[in-house]
Amino acid sequence: MATKEVKDVGLIQEFGSLIHVPNGLSEKDRSEIVQRLNRNAANLQLLYMRYKKDHWTIRGRHFHSLHLFFEELANEVLAQTDVIAERVVGLGGVVVSMPDEIAEHATIGQLPAGIHDTKTMLQRELQALETMEVEIREDMERADELGDPTTNDLLNAVLDVLEKQTWMINSQQADLD
Ligand SMILES: [Fe+2]
């Protein structure tokens, strides 16, 4: 399928480039942090889309509670996405934001088309969350080494939300056969 493209005029900063930000962090360190944050921005935006799909396609005896549950998870993720995206820009970078870029930079993968059973749905989200949690812990360690406690703090808040979601999804699937 052909992708409709908006004509690229008026560009003032290319993706992957960094503008100068006088905050005492070197360009090299900001560049690494921006790359790590962009992976998180892509994953968070994709996770939001996945939860919305779950919200729209959930079927079965737990429909009502899980329909509302996924909406709640999506909204929590959306709030965290904004914080991470703005940190990328604050460090002089360009944030991942369009679907093609998100697919390219995300490590959690897109959900297959169609409607799937509840157990599969929950297990897929648990896997995605674990992937993100492992990566975020590494990113936090690196941010610490590079002397960027702000990024560390923001990622810690994201990790807190994701770990809480792991607990809740894991509890939801406990009695599904
Ligand atoms: Fe809705």
Short-list 30, 48, 134, 7, CA closest to 90: 30
Q: Give the distance (Å) from ligand 1 centre to CA of residue 23.
A: 41
Locus of tokens 């993706």 = 15
pLDDT tens, position by position, for the chain (177 residues)? 556 788 889 999 999 999 999 999 999 999 999 999 999 999 999 999 999 999 999 999 999 999 999 999 999 999 999 999 999 999 999 999 999 999 999 999 999 999 999 999 999 999 999 999 999 999 999 999 999 999 999 999 999 999 999 999 999 988 786
Contacts of residue 167, Cβ cutoff 8 Å, sequence gap at least 6: none
Domain spans in the chain, listed from the N-terminal domain onward: 27-172
- Output the CA 94–ligand 1 centroid distance in Å: 30
- 67 C-alpha vs ligand 1 centroid, how far in Å? 8
- CA quadruple 10, 14, 15, 18: dihedral sign: negative
Compute, in angstroms, the gap from residue 70 CA to the centroid of ligand 1.
Answer: 9
- Tell me which CATH code domain 27-172 carries: 1.20.1260.10
Find the 116 Cα to ligand 1 centroid distance in Å.
18
- Stated pTM of the model: 0.96
